[in-house]
């Protein structure tokens, strides 16, 4: 973790210096194409192509009133009507764009700039992020820079899977925002055209193993964390899987994981039907009274798992076999994509950070969902504080919610 912090600090210092020291200034984009269609329709560059996979797809989520009223305002990115309506809605145009002699710049934190041969940013394929608000294309940090290294050149076709800093080190962002792009690529019909896959990182087993499942060998991987600036004969890129600021999961994403990825996994190991996902292996949102929690769960047949100790395929098999899942809210719950329809989930929140992402996934695949919101000594007023707030579980309330879930299991049996 210390190494990661130092890497980020060094990268941010470098970004600051690049604003004031001029070098290769001509690489700075001179304008913006606000949509891919605008670029393709106006370009004189032979070979530019654009495929709309899911045009103007609307994703909606009706959140139970009790959960909706508890949502952290900073976790509810999509709904300007927060507090008025319990249905969240976002519309995205999911497309794939091919750019001859395309160029890409990233700081591997909060900026990905997709650049055309005539030196313009493609807004709907680029990424610019601010933790507190929706940013506009002209706010992409590439427009603040004066210093540019010469881009590393890759012969052939590169597919861009970069998704900001979250996907570099976080399992959830990898599945939600990076790996899922391969579905859009496959649906475009261009998967077999790709020579190189530009990924946020390639140090974690889940990154290597998930790519290998789809036949992507290490020899075809470019590690984005090691690159700021690259150019290629042909750059293929796609829309952000959840839009520029969305927390909603589009319907195609669970189908990709269940219909494409799950059938590729086979495990001879048997896993328990009742599982508890521990966050002992995390620095964030750990359960402070986990021993008390397990005193309740263990007699009911629950077994505890730390997901960081399991391989990618083992995580999938664990969730695919589970009938009841109990977990504090966290990235490991993205494995719900692989859970069996009708399984039961109890998600435990700190009141400092309540969001509907895993309710969204649970509903999309037909899980029976319960939640438990636990009091915090001091409720966080921003996302950074909320993300770090540990959880002390109300044991009596835990028993009540568990009885509600397990009674449904017995009724089915």
Q: How far apart are CA 48 and CA 34, in angstroms?
A: 16
Q: How far apart are CA 49 and CA 99, in angstroms?
A: 7
- List, as one string, the DSSP characters of 18-75: HTTS-BSGGGS--EEESSHHHHHHH---TT-EEEEEEEEEEEEEE--HHHHHHS-GGG
Q: How far apart are CA 193 and CA 115, in angstroms?
A: 20
Q: How far apart are CA 224 and CA 99, in angstroms?
A: 18
Q: How far apart are CA 101 and CA 45, in angstroms?
A: 9
Confidence (pLDDT) at 73? 75
Q: For residue 191, which phi and psi values (nearest 5 degrees)?
A: -55, -45
Q: How far apart are CA 343 and CA 346, in angstroms?
A: 10
Of 395, 401, 400, give the one whose Cα is nearest residue 289: 395
Specify the fold of 274-412: Rossmann fold (3.40.50)
Confidence (pLDDT) at 84? 47
Confidence (pLDDT) at 411? 52
Confidence (pLDDT) at 413? 44
Query: Domain coordinates of the chain in residue numbers?
Result: 2-65+90-249, 274-412
**pLDDT tens, per residue, the chain with 413 residues:** 455 566 667 666 777 777 788 899 999 999 999 999 999 998 777 889 999 999 999 999 999 999 998 888 765 544 434 444 588 888 999 999 999 999 999 998 899 999 999 999 999 999 998 776 778 999 999 999 999 999 999 999 999 999 988 999 999 999 999 999 999 999 999 999 999 999 999 999 999 999 999 999 999 999 998 888 999 999 999 999 998 777 899 999 999 999 999 999 988 789 999 999 999 988 888 999 999 999 999 999 999 999 999 999 999 999 999 999 999 999 999 999 999 999 999 999 999 889 999 999 999 999 999 999 999 877 777 777 778 889 999 999 999 999 888 776 655 44
Confidence (pLDDT) at 79? 42
Beta-carbon count within 10 A of 290 CB = 19
Q: How far apart are CA 384 and CA 13, in angstroms?
A: 21
pTM of the predicted model as reported, rounded to 2 decimal places: 0.91
> CA 272, 172, 372, 61 torsion: positive or negative?
negative
- List, as one string, the DSSP characters of 75-119: G-TT-TTTTT-SEEEEEEEEEEEEEET-EEEE-SSSEEEEE-TTS
Confidence (pLDDT) at 4? 59
Q: How far apart are CA 225 and CA 209, in angstroms?
A: 18
User: Which uninterrupted H or E stretch holds 326?
Assistant: strand 324-328
């Amino acid at each position: 973790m210390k190494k990661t912090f130092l890497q980020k600090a060094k990268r941010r210092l470098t970004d600051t210096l690049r604003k004031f020291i001029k070098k290769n200034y001509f690489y700075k984009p001179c304008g913006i194409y606000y949509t891919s269609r605008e670029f393709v329709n106006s370009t004189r560059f032979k070979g530019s192509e654009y495929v709309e996979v899911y045009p103007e797809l609307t994703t909606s989520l009706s959140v139970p009133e009790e959960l909706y009223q508890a949502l952290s305002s900073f976790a509810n990115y999509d709904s300007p009507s927060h507090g008025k309506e319990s249905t969240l809605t976002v519309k995205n145009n999911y497309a794939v764009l091919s750019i001859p002699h395309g160029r890409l710049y990233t700081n591997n934190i909060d900026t990905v700039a997709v650049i055309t041969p005539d030196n313009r940013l493609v807004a709907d394929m680029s990424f610019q992020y601010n933790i507190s608000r929706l940013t506009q294309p002209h706010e992409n940090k590439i427009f603040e820079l004066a210093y540019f290294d010469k881009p590393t050149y890759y012969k052939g076709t590169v597919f861009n899977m970069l998704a900001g800093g979250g996907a570099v080190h976080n399992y959830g962002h990898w599945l939600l925002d990076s790996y899922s792009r391969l579905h859009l690529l496959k649906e475009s019909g261009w998967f077999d055209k790709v020579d190189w896959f530009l990924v946020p990182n390639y140090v974690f087993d889940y990154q290597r193993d998930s790519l290998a499942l789809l036949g992507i060998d290490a020899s075809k991987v470019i590690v984005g964390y090691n690159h700021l600036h690259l150019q290629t004969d042909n750059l293929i890129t796609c829309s952000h899987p959840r839009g520029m600021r969305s927390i909603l999961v589009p319907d195609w994403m669970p189908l990709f994981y269940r219909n494409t990825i799950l059938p590729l996994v086979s495990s001879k190991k048997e896993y328990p039907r009742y599982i508890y996902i521990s966050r002992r292996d995390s620095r964030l949102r750990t359960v402070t009274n986990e021993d008390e929690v397990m005193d309740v769960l263990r007699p009911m047949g629950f077994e505890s798992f730390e997901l960081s100790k399991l391989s990618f395929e083992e995580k999938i098999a664990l969730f695919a076999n589970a009938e009841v899942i109990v977990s504090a809210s966290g990235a490991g719950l993205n494995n719900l994509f692989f859970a069996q329809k009708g399984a039961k989930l109890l998600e435990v929140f700190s009141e400092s950070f309540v969001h509907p992402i895993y309710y969204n996934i649970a509903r999309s695949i037909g899980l029976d969902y319960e939640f438990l919101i636990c009091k915090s000594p001091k409720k966080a007023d921003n996302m950074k504080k909320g993300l770090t707030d540990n959880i002390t579980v109300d044991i009596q309330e835990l028993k009540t919610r568990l009885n509600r879930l397990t009674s449904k299991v017995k009724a089915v049996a």
